[in-house]
Amino acid sequence: MPDAMTPPEQDSPDAVSLDHGSSLQPPQGPAGMTPPLRRAPLIRGRDLYRYGLLAIIFGILGIFLIWPILLTVAGGFTDTDGGFTLSYLLSIFNDPIYMKGLANSLLIATFTTLLCLVITLPLAIIATKFDFPGKVAISSLILVPLILPPFVGAIGLRALLGRFGAINTLLADIGLIDPNAPGIDFLGGALGGQFWSVVVMEALHLYPIIYLNISASLANLDPALDEAAVNLGASRWKRFWKCTFPLIVPGIFAGATIVFIWSFTELGTPLMFDYYNVTPVQVFWGINEISDNPRPYALVVVMLVVAIALYMLGKFIFGGKAYEMQAKASVAAQVKRLTGFKGLAALTLFVTITLLAVLPHIGVILSSFSADGSWYKSILPSEFTLSHYSQALTHDLAMDSIRNSLIYALAAMVFCAIIGIAISYLTVRVKVRGSFLLDSLAMLPLAVPGLVMAFGYVAMSLKWPFGEKHILGGLFSVVGENPNPVPLLIIAYTIRRLPYIVRSTSSGLQQTSGLLEEAALNLGASTMTSIRRVVVPLIMANIIAGSILVFSFAMLEVSDSLILAQQEGDYPITKAIWTFYSRLGDGPYIASAMGVWGMALLTVTLVGASVLMGKKLGAIFRV
């Protein structure tokens, strides 16, 4: 009944404003007089809260994301007197060792990305367009390579490909090489074994990122386009290159960009293969002289510029040639059933790639169970033991590192969840001014090399107000007699993994209606109450999926851990693994046991995230 309707109170900050042209009459004053209309405030109370939250998040990202990058760039152009100079940057280009390292890093990134594309493109096409026996089971294993950092998998690969390792022993047993002579030097020598070992190890670890993006792009294609091409007489290859491929270029580029930057700046894998003539390792060795020698700053600047330049080049070249559909698939795609030899061939391809990807992981597991010296000139270890696992749980360094990583990762997960929910709410639900920039900043850690960010935090710890001689001296410190890198490690893990929680939470908000939230606001609930009681429960699965990804990848973060933790008492688990592996005797075996613990952790978390997010998991790995 019209007479029973009451307009929202004008003084309520959370009242929903009426549309212009509403048929409701304004309230009448005494004696039927209409009171003068009050001018609406320029910024309502609810908007004030939103823009205040926006300012806080911009401040956090400005201090802990933009400022470290700017400090790193500035450090490469600042001389010892504080003046501008190009001498450090020019010295990089005049030093053949640094140039060789840069060339090797670019080659590693290029070949890793190409190998990932060769692996994933046929797999994604077959998985999307065809059905075959065992598809469900084998497709669920596609994320297996992500369960262990490649620098840990390098332990297993070295045990398999060493001159007296399992592969050479197998070749000797079947008579292909002389059993009395040293085996083939797969990991060095004239074959460039160290280089190709790094490439293969990183490709087998990173190809699921491109696979997820290509599969998502193929799933969104409208099959009517392909049917139209068939009616026009186009062959299968012509349909792929003229219709399908141009439409999936954005997905290919999204995944390839992450893989290229990731492999270009990967630090742990070259270290484990003793391949030191690459830019990330050169930066790592220069951390100890950063206070006196700014050349490492200049080297990081070169790496940052190269990464951004290549990203922008690909963006304009490949992204500019991409086409888009007017709408998503109007009808469901018809999946063709493969039987007989074709079905077996498709299954064999998936099984072969999966076995190759898990082979280093199998090597790590066998190494963790083998007794000292028992895996020498044998296909399998001749003696097994559980002592390495007990040492991994009782050794002071191992236990302290596990405890430290749990603290760092849990803190990062909590901070990521709080900041990520706020960013997603502002960019998806309310769309305040500046939300596009906020979303771009949240995704920036995917495009900026992790090594650059870690070096930026080192630079930040040396500047005002965190330097030893300033007001917050000692709060954040990496180098010096009494470093305190714990806050920086937590911040680094939070910022580096923030895109995961933002993409996951944004996906949940896009799938839920805002009507329930508006209803809560109309009933008098505050903005925070409506978010806590309505929004968060609706997207809890997405929050959990993003949070467990943040936790698992933070637990096994490599670049930040190796650079920021300089004292054993602060070591995360990845720094402890590298320390054990560098120790003679039982060190590699204990490192393998710790790697298996990490592998088990990531297995559980990634499976959980995959179940909760499904096919949308690939959106997390997009710039």
Confidence at 58, pLDDT banded by 50, 70, 90: very high
Residue 130: its H or E element: strand 130-131
Residue ranges of domains in the chain, CATH in brackets:
45-73+99-329+336-621 (1.10.3720.10)
Q: Which residues of 536-575 are buried (b: 16+ CB within 10 A; e: fewer)?
A: beebeebbbbbbbbbbbbbbbbbbbbbbbbbeeebbbbbb
- Measured CA angle at 477 (ends 602, 276), to 5 deg: 60
- Residue/partner pairs of 327-333 with CB below 8 Å, 24 or more apart: 327/222, 328/220, 328/222, 329/220, 329/221, 329/222, 329/223, 329/224, 330/222, 330/224, 331/222, 331/223, 331/224, 332/223, 333/128, 333/129, 333/219, 333/221, 333/223
Question: From CA 570, how far away is CA 572, in angstroms rounded?
Answer: 7
- Using DSSP's 3-state secondary structure scheme, residue 346 falls into helix
| Strand 130-131 relative to strand 336-337, pairing | parallel
pLDDT at 611: 67
Question: From CA 149, how far away is CA 205, in angstroms rounded?
Answer: 7
How confident is the prediction for the chain on average, in pLDDT? 79
Report the range out of 230-239, 294-303, 602-611 with the highest average pLDDT: 294-303
Is pTM, for the whole model, over 0.85? no
- Using DSSP's 3-state secondary structure scheme, residue 140 falls into coil
Give the mean pLDDT of 223-248. Answer: 79
Report the range out of 30-34, 241-245, 285-289, 556-560 with the highest average pLDDT: 556-560
Counting Cα atoms < 13 Å in the Cβ hemisphere of 583 gives 15
| Tokens standing for residue 203 | 């490709």
Q: Is the pLDDT of residue 92 over 90?
A: no
Residue 26: its H or E element: none
Is residue 91 within 8 A of residue 295, CB to CB? The reply is yes
Residues forming a β-bridge with 477: 484
Please report where in the chains the tokens 């191992």 appear, as a residue.
398
- Measured CA angle at 606 (ends 602, 609), to 5 deg: 145
Residues forming a β-bridge with 78: 84
Residues 6+ apart with CB under 8 A from 47: 432
pLDDT at 489: 93
Is residue 316 within 8 A of residue 139, CB to CB? The reply is no
pLDDT at 110: 92
Residues 402-427 pLDDT 10s: 889 989 999 999 999 999 999 988 88
Residues 6+ apart with CB under 8 A from 118: none
Confidence at 330, pLDDT banded by 50, 70, 90: very low
- Of 41, 13, 11, 7, the residue nearest 27 (C-alpha): 7
Q: What are phi and psi of 459, to 5 degrees?
A: -65, -40
- Of 143, 169, 145, 211, the residue nearest 361 (C-alpha): 145
Q: Is the pLDDT of residue 329 over 60?
A: no
Residue 205: its H or E element: helix 193-219
Is residue 239 within 8 A of residue 424, CB to CB? The reply is no
Cα→Cα distances 531→17, 319, 426, Å: 19, 37, 12
Question: From CA 240, how far away is CA 320, in angstroms rounded?
Answer: 19
Cα→Cα distances 163→155, 158, 159, 185, 191, Å: 14, 9, 9, 5, 13
pLDDT at 326: 47
Counting Cα atoms < 13 Å in the Cβ hemisphere of 455 gives 38
pLDDT at 335: 74
pLDDT at 160: 86
The beta-strand segments (E) located in 299-411 are 336-337
Question: From CA 54, how far away is CA 57, in angstroms rounded?
Answer: 5
* Gap between the terminal Cα atoms of the chain: 52
Cα→Cα distances 404→12, 106, 273, 287, 289, Å: 47, 34, 26, 22, 26
Give the mean pLDDT of 141-146. Answer: 72
Question: From CA 527, how far away is CA 520, in angstroms rounded?
Answer: 9
Residues 361-374 pLDDT 10s: 888 889 889 888 78
pLDDT at 244: 80
Residues 6+ apart with CB under 8 A from 107: 195
Is residue 465 within 8 A of residue 472, CB to CB? The reply is yes
Cα→Cα distances 351→124, 135, 215, 341, 456, Å: 14, 10, 18, 15, 42
Confidence at 246, pLDDT banded by 50, 70, 90: confident
Question: From CA 611, how far away is CA 306, in angstroms rounded?
Answer: 37
Higher-pLDDT residue of 438, 471: 438
Confidence at 7, pLDDT banded by 50, 70, 90: very low
User: How many CB atoms sit inside 10 A of residue 432's CB?
Assistant: 15
pLDDT at 292: 65
Centroid of chain to Cα 219: 23
- Using DSSP's 3-state secondary structure scheme, residue 108 falls into helix
Q: What is the largest CA-CA distance in the chain?
A: 113
Residues 6+ apart with CB under 8 A from 24: 5, 7, 18
Confidence at 323, pLDDT banded by 50, 70, 90: low
